[in-house]
Structure 1
Amino acid sequence: MNRRVAREKAIQTLFQLDNLDLSIEEAIAFIVKEESNHFYEHLVRGTMQHREEIDAALTENLENWSLDRLPKIERTILRLAVFELQYSEEAPERVIMNEAIELSKTFGDEKSGRFVNGVLSKFTTNK
């Protein structure tokens, strides 16, 4: 599983965890039928471990939106990207931003990419 696929599967797993009453292990087993990989599990477990801090940071950086009002897929993509930007050193900021935008184009609607880019740009300029 390459990193793009790992991120896609992490989004699917995190989306399930946000919407269903599953343990992390159950959600991982549901999404990844074959053997998992380290990067994918790092993304899922890390995002869930830091979810409260990530949500607080997102809330601070959302203009005219509350976290609860965000479409679920954008919220999930933002959580994953903020985890990578703030807690992981596995990829450069530019790569994380591009991947989040591409994921939002894949899983969201035509406006998702611009929205995700706008929110995440606040995390890269605030450092």
Structure 2
Amino acid sequence: MHDISIISMIFTAALALICLYLILAPIFKWNTIIQLNSKDQDLETTKESLLTTLNEIEFEYKMDKISPADYKNLKRQYEAEVAKIMKEEEKLVDSSIDKELMAEVEKEIEAQLKSYGKQKGEGK
């Protein structure tokens, strides 16, 4: 009887540790994922607000609320900011794409296009 209680205590402790691990492990993994996604979301949010501001500036210019010189200056400034953000987004996308995989995919596409072209030529 004494042996059963020791085995059950060990089993219960192991089960509790496994449950604790399963509960806490995702918290630490999600933290890094959230940080990566938050940077992407920050860039996207900033870009959207800049584009909205550009639309508002254009609307105000068409309503004759701002001068042509102010319109050109503001438009140039905001477009430069949007371009900078788009370059950052492009760098993030380029870094996440596996270059070797993309080269392999492009080779397969070219091979399929060649075989399709040969089939089209035979059908004529």
Q: Normalised by the size of structure 2, how large is the TM-score?
A: 0.23
Larger Rg: 2
In terms of fraction of residues, the more helix-rich structure is: 2
**TM-score when normalising by structure 1:** 0.23
